[in-house]
Amino acid sequence: MNEEIDDQHFHYDFTAASEWEMFMFRLEEIIREWKIPQLKRGPLLKKGELSTGKWETKTENINFADVEFRLTRHRLLVDSSDDISSPLDEENEESKSQVLEDIMRFEHDFPPHSMDNGTPQPHPLAVWYGIRDFLILSAWSGISSYSESKVKILLSSIYVAVNNSNCPIPLFVQVHETTEHYYLGVCEARGLRTEFEMIHLKRTPPHCKYLTGLLNVFKSKITSAMSTEPVTISVQFTYILTDWTSNKWTQEPPDFDFLNGQTLGVKELGKLPFGATFDPVSELQLYARWPQLAEAAVVDSESYSDLEPCRAPEWSVGVRMVERPNCLLGEHFDEFLQFCLCKSTARDLLGDMIDVATAENINLSSSLSAITESRVPTISKVIRKAKVQHQLSKGGYRDGPLSHDYLLPILYFLFPDADSKSENPYAENIGSHSSSDNRQEEQLLNIKSAPVDSLVWRLAVVMSHVVHTLGGIRAAAYLWFEFTQEMRYRWDKCILIPGVAPGDPDLRTCLLHQKLQMLNRCIERRLAREREARATSVDTEDTDTESDEEFFDCSADAPAGAGGGGDRPRHSLWNRPAGRLTRHPQLRLLRTGEPLYVPVTQQHTPKTEDQQQEDEDVLVQLGTDERAAQLRARIMSAALLSDMECFKAANPGAVLEDFIRWYSPPDWKEEDGVDEFGQKKGCLSVRMQLKGNPWVEAWEAAKPVPARRQKRLFDDTREAEKVLHWLEAARPGDVGRLLLAPLS
């Protein structure tokens, strides 16, 4: 009875797999999934390819005895290494295995070290043994606490797994802590087993400090009754120097008080500091090598040695850098990036200082304020003026985030035309592109910056100095405030902005440079308009018209009815030509035969990048119906309508065909034969003859109005105020982002 109970309660199923068997099965399964047993031999590796080549890693997790292990494959990617051989692809029986061939190659002795060049470092096993493909079994937290018996269980497991799966590459077990790089492994290929063992010693035994003792240890490990051949050896001495100088590092941060605080050096403003504040080299490494020496060729013992480093046939030197050295330029960029992330407004940072600065020069809100403003001062103006005087008497500006001792040299550096003795004027060819500039533009095609040594470029460099050295974000906000005040002053006084490329806004540059180009263009248009107004105030409009007619009078041999000789038709008082620029050398009006005159037209309207985007958004939002198409065509034909009105004013009696012949010659198709005035006959193109053509509608709506009497297509006053408002409304963080590209 007792025996029956014991058999019932203590029955053990010997057919169930144990944890150890499941562990080995999973290990073999992963090896087969990675198709390692089917790998064929790869090509011979080049010298140094183990260190310079690209390594690939693949990892799988395995659980055994409540411990999570990971199996990692390290493989060097070489040509044909990924090819899988077919079952018929058999190797020569006398050939060595891939692993043994790699281990025995002298080219793999002491591969060159990769000195922190950004490429992944090869595994130490690849450097020590010269192998290109191997597996490592390791625990996530290390197995340093494992006993020797548990380590032997892992070794026996990999022995069985390698044999059962026919794995031709080495399989290692990592023991102790991961930082110690202690590995035990095995490789079985072509009937040959290779065991990899390591010994860690705290102190080197005396007999192992020289080559003679190492050779004796090596020969003692060869368990063969046959006499061994002479050993071929390779020797490398490594010298590492970590402290090679006791002198102070010569690179110092820039000192803006180099003149005892008297003034700020302009030369220091135009460049950013470069270099590390301490030595960025952590160690120097020297390698002295003797490759492939015969055993009897050298002697290295305690009493005598032929291995003198000065006589080594090969030398190599390496430099290891500090991981994150403290560099001056990096500090400037780090603090400037923090400035770009600032979300505070200028008023939040400066407070009443803005009111104190602006109250000194009353800012008119509109151009009509100068006319409508009363001469009797108001109470608010009197109080504001008294506050300004009080602040100035207390030295309010000197107590600000950026004192005048620093502010004035910076402003003279940015605006050298304000200083008659300036030593840093802007170049005359700012924005012109040379051949070297074209090569740089190709490299920086997608980066919109500003011309070198332009106003925006100098402002970016100066702003970096201010953020890093001269007061931080508050001082940078104050400098930007002074910059915007200077821009408004130059617009009010019609003074061109220096350091800005001439012409219309260059869309290849940054947005801030485009805005300053737009402001300069507004100043130029305003100056030209004022000069024209002064010129027209001298002569009356009738005098101008008569002088134009006398100057552009036709020659005496002009045909009758064509405006020549005494038969030239007189224009009525209400239809006299106006706004003529010059006479066309060939064309005549089709109906009257009079000479065709090129009119004075309004200049085109420049646009910055954000304005073009706004115009595109407006046109897209109109929709796609017929009414939207008409409205879109009307908006886009504003400049065309202006040119038609100028043409009608300069050429009374002209028709659409005359305008097309001058304005768009490809739309005028010439035919055989000549008309009564000696010109070739022709007709409009098919595009111009379509029903509902916007050119025809614009011509019918156009009135004979010269350019000086038309509404300005480009309102320089409005555009300048928009630019100034854009500058003044920018937050300090926005300013930093605008200057980030020129600073880079």
| CA–CA separation, 250 and 61 (whole Å) | 52
In this predicted structure, what is the pLDDT of residue 120?
A: 62
Q: Are residues 69 and 216 in the same domain?
A: no
| Model pLDDT for residues 204-216, shown as the tens digit of each residue | 888 888 888 888 8
Domain range for 663 is 558-593+607-713
* Letter string b/e over residues 87-116, b meaning 16 or more CB atoms within 10 A of that residue's CB: eeeeeeeeebbbbbebbeeebbebbebeee
**For range 603-607, the mean pLDDT:** 82
**For range 30-46, the mean pLDDT:** 88
In this predicted structure, what is the pLDDT of residue 467?
A: 86
pLDDT tops 80 at residue 96: no
- Residue of 410, 415, 409 lying closest to 455 (CA atoms): 415
In this predicted structure, what is the pLDDT of residue 186?
A: 92
**For range 169-181, the mean pLDDT:** 87
Q: Is 84 helix (H, G, I), strand (E, B) or coil?
A: strand
| Model pLDDT for residues 309-332, shown as the tens digit of each residue | 898 998 988 888 877 777 778 787
In this predicted structure, what is the pLDDT of residue 523?
A: 92
Domain-embedded: residue 638: yes
Residue with tokens 């070794």: 155
DSSP letters, 457-523, are: HHHHHHHHHHHHTSSHHHHHHHHHHHHHHHHHHHHHHT-PPTTS-SSS--TTS-HHHHHHHHHHHHH
pLDDT tops 80 at residue 184: yes
Q: Are residues 361 and 499 in the same domain?
A: yes
Q: What percent of the chain is modeled with pLDDT above 90?
A: 10
| CA–CA separation, 183 and 163 (whole Å) | 19
Cα–chain center distance at 183: 45
* Letter string b/e over residues 579-612, b meaning 16 or more CB atoms within 10 A of that residue's CB: bbeeeeeebbbbebbbbbbbbbbbeeebbbbebe
Q: Are residues 505 and 637 in the same domain?
A: no
pLDDT tops 70 at residue 251: no
Domain-embedded: residue 548: no
CA distances, 129 to each of 71, 315, 661 (Å)? 20, 22, 85
Q: Are residues 43 and 148 in the same domain?
A: yes
pLDDT tops 70 at residue 71: yes
| Model pLDDT for residues 99-137, shown as the tens digit of each residue | 888 888 888 788 766 555 455 678 889 888 889 999 999
Q: Are residues 631 and 647 in the same domain?
A: yes
Out of 307, 326, 345, a domain closes at 326
pLDDT tops 50 at residue 640: yes
Domain-embedded: residue 545: no
* Letter string b/e over residues 180-201, b meaning 16 or more CB atoms within 10 A of that residue's CB: eebbbbbbbbeeeeeebeeeee
Q: How confident is the model at residue 556 (pLDDT cuts 50, 70, 90)?
A: very low
Q: Is 316 helix (H, G, I), strand (E, B) or coil?
A: strand
| CA–CA separation, 73 and 55 (whole Å) | 10
Domain-embedded: residue 540: no
In this predicted structure, what is the pLDDT of residue 634?
A: 67
Q: Are residues 614 and 650 in the same domain?
A: yes
Q: What percent of the chain is modeled with pLDDT above 70?
A: 73
- Residue of 577, 552, 554, 578 lying closest to 567 (CA atoms): 554
- For residues 379 and 336, the model is more confident at 336
**For range 170-176, the mean pLDDT:** 89
Q: How confident is the model at residue 378 (pLDDT cuts 50, 70, 90)?
A: very low
Mean pLDDT of the chain: 76
| CA–CA separation, 518 and 716 (whole Å) | 9
Domain-embedded: residue 59: yes
Number of domains in the chain: 4
| CA–CA separation, 232 and 104 (whole Å) | 11
In this predicted structure, what is the pLDDT of residue 566?
A: 41
Q: Are residues 347 and 476 in the same domain?
A: yes
Q: Are residues 636 and 580 in the same domain?
A: yes
Q: Are residues 406 and 528 in the same domain?
A: yes
Domain-embedded: residue 370: yes
pLDDT tops 70 at residue 395: no
Q: Are residues 24 and 151 in the same domain?
A: yes
In this predicted structure, what is the pLDDT of residue 85?
A: 44
DSSP for residue 187: E
Q: Are residues 177 and 40 in the same domain?
A: yes
Q: Are residues 690 and 706 in the same domain?
A: yes
Domain-embedded: residue 577: yes
Lowest mean pLDDT among 50-64, 104-118, 233-247: 104-118
pLDDT tops 80 at residue 270: no
In this predicted structure, what is the pLDDT of residue 95?
A: 66
Q: What is the CA radius of gyration of the chain?
A: 44
pLDDT tops 80 at residue 297: yes
In this predicted structure, what is the pLDDT of residue 319?
A: 85
Q: How confident is the model at residue 172 (pLDDT cuts 50, 70, 90)?
A: very high
Domain-embedded: residue 175: yes
Lowest mean pLDDT among 19-33, 344-358, 573-587: 344-358
Interhelix angle 638-650/694-701, nearest 10 degrees: 50
Q: Is 258 helix (H, G, I), strand (E, B) or coil?
A: coil
pLDDT tops 60 at residue 567: no
| Model pLDDT for residues 505-514, shown as the tens digit of each residue | 888 888 999 9
